[in-house]
Amino acid sequence: MNPTFKVENLEVAYGETIALKDINLELYPKSITALIGPSGCGKSTFLRTLNRMNDLIPVCRISGRVQYHDQDIYHKQTDVINLRKSVGMVFQKPNPFPMSIFDNVAYGPKRQGIKDKDTLNSIVDKALKQAALFEEVSDRLDASARSLSGGQQQRLCIARALAMEPEVILMDEPTSALDPIATQKIETLLQELKKDYTIIIVTHSMHQAARISDYTAFFYMGELIETSDTDSLFQLPKKKQTEDYITGRFG
Amino acid sequence: MGRHSGLSLNKPSNTDTNHQRFQKLINTVVKRLVFLSALLSASFIIIVVVFVALAGIEPFISDNEGLGSVSFFGFITRTIWLDGPTFSSNMYGAGYLIINTLYIAFLTLALSLPLGVLTALFIAKIASRKTATVLRSIVELLAAIPSIVYGLVGAGLILPIIYNVALSFGIQTNGGNSTLAAVIVLTFMSIPTLTTVSEVAIRNVNPSLEEASLALGASKTQTHFSVLLPAAKSGIFSAAILAIGRALGEATAISLVAGNALSGPTFSLFNRTATLTTAMLQGMKETTGLDYDIRFSLGIVLIVVILITNFALNTLKKKVGNVHAQ
Amino acid sequence: MHSKRKVIDGTLKGMTIGAALTTASALFIVFYFVFTTGFSLLSFDLLVTDYNSVQYNAVLETPNQTMEFEKPEVIDSPFSYKYGIALEDSRNKDGESIISIAYVDDNSPLKTLLDKESGEPIEATKNNVITRISYEASPTSLTREGAASMAERLDSDTTIREIIFIEPGGGIRGSIIATLYLIGLTLVMALPLGIFSAIYLNEFAKDTRLTRTIRSFIDTLTGIPSIVYGLMAVSVFIPITARMNVADGLSIYAGAMTMAVILLPILIRTTEESLAAVPNEYREASLALGANDVQTTFKVVLPNALAGLLTATFLSIGRIIGESAALIFVMGTAVKDSVDPANGATTLAVHIWTLMSTEPANVELASTIAVIILTIVLILNTTVKLLAKKFDKIGNR
């Protein structure tokens, strides 16, 4: 199976601090890959290299190769905007724009130049349905996004990302700011979405990783310690550090 | 036991030494003093309003040394400053001045708001650290320049330019004195406040919103104009309200470039104009008499205009801000 | 679609950069105009000369004395060996021809003239303009005859009956002195009032409705245009100074009261901020040692807020120097050469107004004054910035 992402010898530094060292990893399509590890291990940094959000930090230096399909995304001629159309992101704390629900979801397509009302309507409806939010908001699409609950806002952000019809969705601890019920709703949603999308999720909860992911990668102090399919990693970890983390000896 | 037995804190008691009694007295006196200072400071606003109002109402209720009282309704609606010879007429009219004042202030806002907000955007998001620091200092300096100097540059530099440019298009101006001149001078005076306050508003926008926009494939510029500036709307509105308040009250700078029109209102950009403030400053020949006293009436009108404008804009801000904000 | 978006993006970004450029250029335009127009008149003389020109009708102290003077090498203009002065043809600022004195020897009899009517001693100095010299037995020397002729006739063998000359004025000494008086008097009134009010608000006041009302009333003061303060001053402070027998009508005293009120909100705010910046640990330590609140405030808090107070003072000085509208009403627009705080006068800013609102406007001198004002504002601003940096460093230690 051809990996969606192939990462080779990736090193990321912020000024003097080295955040990631010698990462080699493949990420597979239409599945959920969980990135786990204790705080500060570099998993979020890794996630952000996949859609070049690290570009926003001026002191960030990257070396190595990150290949999306057959393209080195850090090549000078890569169109970052196109990349982000295919590789979407959902953030830890829900961050809907101070606009209506409709405008939030329609934001991405509008920026790409889609103006036709009917097209936008169908895009928004489809995205909201895919995010399992449509039923709850279909009668008030013009209401402010801020009027939704935390869990609903996060599903709105997922819908917003889905509206771009990406191939990959990156999620940076998407449920850590939500209550257990909202978390469960989103976990169920992700199981549905993985049928059509490639999902990479950073999570500080290994239980979440064990519950929903197909593949897991364990990061520790900027290094990729171990990666394999989730069942194998959790039941038969190959490295001692992995085992220690999984059994709760640290982290 | 000891000197500080703790029970008598600030009231003198029998166990105090003279020194302690003195200290406590000073304590009480000073506390009273600073309280009175604060009260006095707070009372000035009342003093200003009351005394200007009292003096300003005079022309409408007194006989003005035989000239007869000025009709209040006439005053706020008439379009000629003085219908009749000075010192012997009471037909003062500030109606056109009110219109001119508002007209000029809003025109100024229309020019200075985009200039100020975009400059703020540049400083906050586009400029490098060094350039941003330099620009911020430039803006601070612009804010520190006294209004009379702006008036001087307006009169010495902008007037001749307007005169010549208008002439080349066949438009006659009164030496360049015009609405346009007043608007240009006021615009440059308003930009510093607008820029500074807008920059703060822009910086206060949650950076996560920008990240979300970029992650969706929007460009930086799209993010700035579709997410950042709308999110900073409320702060920018406040900046605008502040700027309009100052533009309405500016006196010496505009006086030197407006041309002192004695009737109006003036909507044309190239004709002479006059505002409530310029009328207060023009032709002060005496310090008594109706011609002098009427300036206080203009003062009342000015305060009322500023209050109403502030109120209206603040109400508008709440309406606009409520949609999609919290 | 892609390229259309790039065009829009490019335009928007271009407009943003353009706006920033426009703003930046405004500063340079202001400074450029003011400095180039005003530079030519800038001189030390300007700062110490009177504004109003004065005409003198003078006679010699000892009419028949004969002296011989040597012409100094550096002078080429027509020179009178008998009286030790050099004259030159030039033009005044209205473009008219005048004869001005280019040089006066220290021992010249023209340094010991007497006023024709009062007999008071006066002296003719460099840059004074001679309009006529009348003689006992020669034709009167007039301006239109030129400097050379006037100098020659001086050396001819007749006694001078009368010299009429003008001190051209055009200096800003009076306005500078008035400005300094205003700054001093205003600070004397405003600083205590403002600092005490700030001390009350920050150190002693509790969060009651009264305190909130006081604060909001003080804040509203900032929304009032300064011209309205001028009106208030005329109806409040001028009568007060009259009642106190301190001044009658326009005066710098009334002006200082007015400026004190104008400065109040910003003084109070800045002082409150610098008081608030003093860490509570200092207060607690002082109180724990048995000092009362007032002692704590004045002996511990205030000294630590000094940098902030200094900043507030400098900001105030800048504001005083820049104020025009209010002072026009309360101090008048007549430029005075001998400044008395009990009378009106013009500050530098109001002097600019007076120069620009007469026909024809004296843009050059106005610009020169503006150069002085801008330079002072620049220095004050930079000092405040440096103080703020030092203040931060101390706070962070």
CATH number at residue C147: 2.30.42
Confidence category of residue C318, pLDDT binned at 50, 70, 90: very high
The residues of chain A scoring below 70 in pLDDT are 251
Element spanning C261, H or E: helix C252-276
Q: Write b or e for each residue in A176-205: b if 16 or more Cβ atoms lie within 10 A of its Cβ, otherwise e.
A: ebbeeebbebbbebbeebbeebbbbbbbbe
List the single residue in C with minimal CA-CA distance to B277: C227
Q: Is the pLDDT confidence value at C396 over 80?
A: no
Residue B273 CA to residue A47 CA, distance in Å, equals 63
Tell me, yes or no, whether C201 and C316 share the same domain. yes
A215 is in which domain, residue-wise? 5-246
Tell me, yes or no, whether C291 and C187 share the same domain. yes
Structure tokens at B28: 């009480």
State which of C167, C199, C218 marks the end of a domain. C167
Shortest alpha-carbon distance between residue A104 and chain B (Å):
10
- For residue A109, the chain C residues in CB contact (below 8 A) are none
Asked if the Cβ–Cβ distance from A97 to B326 is below 8 Å, we say: no
Those residues with Cβ within 8 angstroms of residue C49's Cβ, 6 or more apart along the chain or in another chain: C167, C169, C170, C171, C172, C173
Instruction: Answer for the pair A92, A177: CB distance below 8 angstroms, yes or no.
Output: yes
Residue C384 CA to residue A28 CA, distance in Å, equals 60
CATH number at residue B311: 1.10.3720.10
One-letter-per-residue 3-state SS of chain A: CCCCEEEEEEEEEECCEEEEEEEEEEECCCCEEEEECCCCCCHHHHHHHHCCHHHHCCCEEEEEEEEECCEECCCCCCCHHHHHHHEEEECCCCCCCCCEHHHHHHHHHHHCCCCCHHHHHHHHHHHHHHCCCHHHHHHHCCCEHHHCCHHHHHHHHHHHHHCCCCCEEEEECCCCCCCHHHHHHHHHHHHHHCCCCEEEEECCCHHHHHHHCCEEEEEECCEEEEEEEHHHHHHCCCCHHHHHHHCCCCC
The number of folded domains in chain B is: 1
Confidence category of residue B7, pLDDT binned at 50, 70, 90: very low
Closest CA to B249 of C263, C265, C227: C227
Element spanning C153, H or E: helix C147-155
Per-residue model confidence as pLDDT tens digits over B80-108:
888 888 777 888 889 999 999 999 999 99
Residue B302 CA to residue B56 CA, distance in Å, equals 11
3-state secondary structure of B4: coil
Residue B106 CA to residue B101 CA, distance in Å, equals 9
Tell me, yes or no, whether C136 and C246 share the same domain. no
Closest Cβ opposite residue A100 in set B209, B217, B324:
B324
List the single residue in A with minimal CA-CA distance to C9: A111
Handedness of CA C180, C182, C185, C191 (dihedral sign): negative
Say if C209 is an interface residue toward chain A (CB within 8 Å).
no
Confidence category of residue C76, pLDDT binned at 50, 70, 90: confident
Tell me, yes or no, whether C205 and C281 share the same domain. yes
Closest Cβ opposite residue B212 in set A51, A95, A100:
A95
Closest CA to B237 of B141, B113, B324: B113
Model ipTM value:
0.90
Residue A31 CA to residue A213 CA, distance in Å, equals 8
The whole-number pLDDT of residue A14 equals 92
Handedness of CA B130, B135, B137, B138 (dihedral sign): positive
Tell me, yes or no, whether C384 and C288 share the same domain. yes
C382 within a domain of the structure (yes/no): yes
Instruction: Answer for the pair C357, B257: CB distance below 8 angstroms, yes or no.
Output: no
3-state secondary structure of C161: strand
Per-residue model confidence as pLDDT tens digits over A94-146:
999 999 999 999 999 999 989 999 999 999 999 999 999 999 999 999 999 99
Residue C135 CA to residue C158 CA, distance in Å, equals 7
Q: With pLDDT > 90 as the criterion, what percentage of chain C qualifies?
A: 48
- For residue A113, the chain C residues in CB contact (below 8 A) are 1, 4-5
Shortest alpha-carbon distance between residue B100 and chain A (Å):
37
Those residues with Cβ within 8 angstroms of residue C201's Cβ, 6 or more apart along the chain or in another chain: B38, C211, C214, C215, C268, C272
- The overall average pLDDT reported for chain B is 89
State which of C167, C186, C218 marks the end of a domain. C167
Say if C197 is an interface residue toward chain B (CB within 8 Å).
yes
One-letter identity of residue C334: A
Shortest alpha-carbon distance between residue A74 and chain C (Å):
21
Closest CA to B40 of C256, C214, C230: C214
B281 within a domain of the structure (yes/no): yes
Shortest alpha-carbon distance between residue A159 and chain B (Å):
11
The whole-number pLDDT of residue C304 equals 83
- For residue B209, the chain A residues in CB contact (below 8 A) are 95, 97-98
B224 within a domain of the structure (yes/no): yes
Per-residue model confidence as pLDDT tens digits over B53-77:
999 998 888 887 878 888 888 888 8
Shortest alpha-carbon distance between residue B139 and chain C (Å):
7
B127 within a domain of the structure (yes/no): yes
The whole-number pLDDT of residue B325 equals 52
Name the least confident of A155-169, B182-196, C304-318.
C304-318
Residue A124 CA to residue A111 CA, distance in Å, equals 14
Q: What count of other Cβ atoms lies within 10 Å of the Cβ of residue B269?
A: 17
A251 within a domain of the structure (yes/no): no
Q: Is the pLDDT confidence value at B37 over 90?
A: yes
Per-residue model confidence as pLDDT tens digits over C165-179:
998 888 899 999 999
Q: In this predicted model, which residue has the larger pLDDT, C161 or B223?
A: B223
Confidence category of residue C391, pLDDT binned at 50, 70, 90: low
Q: Where are the beta strands (DSSP E) in chain C?
A: 54-60, 79-80, 85-91, 97-104, 113-115, 121-122, 129-135, 141-142, 160-167
Can you tell me which residue has the tokens 């959000």?
Answer: A53
The number of folded domains in chain A is: 1
CATH number at residue A103: 3.40.50.300
The whole-number pLDDT of residue C397 equals 47
Say if B226 is an interface residue toward chain A (CB within 8 Å).
yes
Confidence category of residue B285, pLDDT binned at 50, 70, 90: low
The whole-number pLDDT of residue C48 equals 85
Task: Tell me the Ramachandran region of residue C346: left when phi exceeds 0, alpha when psi lies from -120 to 50, beta otherwise.
Answer: beta
Q: Is the pLDDT confidence value at C393 over 70?
A: no
A100 within a domain of the structure (yes/no): yes
Tell me, yes or no, whether C198 and C158 share the same domain. no
Tell me, yes or no, whether C283 and C331 share the same domain. yes
Chain B segment 256-295 residues within 8 A of A by beta carbon are none
Shortest alpha-carbon distance between residue C253 and chain B (Å):
17
- The overall average pLDDT reported for chain C is 89
B9 within a domain of the structure (yes/no): no
Q: What does the DSSP 8-state code read for residue C92?
A: -
Closest Cβ opposite residue A91 in set B208, B218, B323:
B208
C18 within a domain of the structure (yes/no): no
List the single residue in A with minimal CA-CA distance to B221: A111
Q: Is the pLDDT confidence value at B142 over 60?
A: yes
The whole-number pLDDT of residue B146 equals 96
Chain C segment 16-35 residues within 8 A of B by beta carbon are 16-20, 22-24, 26-27, 29-30, 33-34
Tell me, yes or no, whether C335 and C234 share the same domain. yes
B236 is in which domain, residue-wise? 100-322
Instruction: Answer for the pair C194, C271: CB distance below 8 angstroms, yes or no.
Output: yes
CATH number at residue C358: 1.10.3720.10
Tell me, yes or no, whether C177 and C261 share the same domain. yes
Residue C246 φ/ψ, nearest 5 degrees? -90, -35
Say if A53 is an interface residue toward chain B (CB within 8 Å).
yes
Name the least confident of B266-280, C7-21, C117-131.
C117-131
Tell me, yes or no, whether C193 and C318 share the same domain. yes
The whole-number pLDDT of residue A65 equals 93
Contacts across the A-B interface (CB distance below 8 Å): 74
Tell me, yes or no, whether C196 and C342 share the same domain. yes
The whole-number pLDDT of residue B5 equals 45
Closest CA to B240 of B201, B184, B183: B201
Q: What average pLDDT score do residues C23-39 get?
A: 95
C374 within a domain of the structure (yes/no): yes
Q: Is the pLDDT confidence value at B326 over 60?
A: no
Q: Is the pLDDT confidence value at B3 over 50?
A: no
Instruction: Answer for the pair C198, C145: CB distance below 8 angstroms, yes or no.
Output: no
The number of folded domains in chain C is: 2
- For residue A53, the chain B residues in CB contact (below 8 A) are 211, 214-215
C211 is in which domain, residue-wise? 173-396
Closest CA to B247 of B187, B301, B197: B187
The whole-number pLDDT of residue B64 equals 79
Q: With pLDDT > 70 as the criterion, what percentage of chain C qualifies?
A: 97
Long-range contacts of C136-143 (CB under 8 A, 24+ apart): C136/C160, C136/C161, C143/C97, C143/C98, C143/C99
Q: With pLDDT > 70 as the criterion, what percentage of chain B qualifies?
A: 93
CA terminus-to-terminus distance, chain C: 56
The DSSP code sequence of B44-58 is HHHHHHHHHHHHHHH
Tell me, yes or no, whether C258 and C386 share the same domain. yes
Say if C3 is an interface residue toward chain A (CB within 8 Å).
no
C1 within a domain of the structure (yes/no): no
Q: What count of other Cβ atoms lies within 10 Å of the Cβ of residue C73?
A: 6
C233 by Cβ neighbours in 10 Å (0-12 / 13-18 / 19+) ranks as buried
